């Protein structure tokens, strides 16, 4: 409304008129339109629509943008509804098409059907996603196994954090731990001889 106030006669002032606020100008919630999404350039969702050509007509596109913004801003943790929705859509597509779309949008993905598939997954192997970790065992030295690294990357070159040190072998720190607990060297040796604690392997 262009006029915030309207002139209304005040009979108590002998015919003189004064300004009174119009009821329609009471406190109203702000109206947000697609033109006001980006404060400094395009909004992130506008950028995504533009980059991926997710555009339709001049009526539909603003509505889709505003709906997407409301979904994201109103659901900071949308996994409870987003993941089932994605599963419903992806279930209708062949695996090759899913792979093509993920590659096109730079979405990290892997066709892992069982845990054992991780060890031969080309994406994990190419990006350092598997870390060689020594797994010790009773009665032997153990062996190295590739375990998934943390799913994080740092810097512009997208470096993954590596392994700082290998996990302790079975029994490796028996003496240090038990000594701090107050056991003497003779008592620790007796515990090991009795099989109460495992002897160090390797």
Q: What is the DSSP string of 55-90?
A: ---TTHHHHHHHHHHHHHHH-SSTHHHHHHHHHHHH
What's the pTM value of the predicted model, to 2 decimals?
0.37
Reported as a pLDDT band with limits 50, 70 and 90, residue 14 is very low
Question: Largest Cα–Cα distance in the chain?
Answer: 111
Reported as a single tens digit per residue, the pLDDT across 147-202 is 888 777 788 887 888 888 888 877 888 889 899 999 999 999 899 888 888 776 55
Spatial CB neighbours of 127, under 8 Å, sequence gap ≥ 6: 158, 160
What is the per-residue pLDDT for 2? 45
CA 188 – CA 200 distance, rounded (Å): 13
């Amino acid at each position: 409304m262009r006029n915030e106030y309207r002139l209304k006669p005040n009979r108590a002032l002998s015919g003189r008129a004064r300004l009174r606020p119009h009821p329609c100008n009471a406190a109203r919630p702000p109206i947000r339109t697609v033109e006001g999404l980006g404060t400094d350039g395009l909004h992130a969702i506008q950028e995504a629509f533009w980059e991926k050509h997710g555009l339709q007509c001049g009526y539909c596109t603003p509505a889709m943008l505003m709906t997407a913004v409301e979904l994201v801003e109103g659901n900071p943790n949308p996994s409870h509804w987003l993941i089932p929705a994605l599963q419903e859509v992806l279930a209708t597509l062949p695996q090759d098409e899913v792979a093509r779309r993920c590659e096109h949008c730079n979405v990290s993905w892997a066709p892992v059907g069982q845990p054992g598939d991780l060890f031969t997954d080309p994406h994990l192997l190419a990006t350092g996603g598997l870390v060689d970790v020594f797994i010790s065992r009773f009665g032997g030295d153990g062996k190295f196994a590739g375990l998934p690294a943390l799913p994080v990357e740092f810097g512009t070159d997208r470096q993954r954090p590596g392994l700082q040190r290998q996990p302790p072998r079975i029994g490796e720190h028996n003496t240090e731990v038990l000594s701090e607990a107050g056991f003497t060297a003779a008592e620790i040796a007796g515990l090991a001889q009795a099989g109460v604690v495992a002897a160090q392997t390797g």
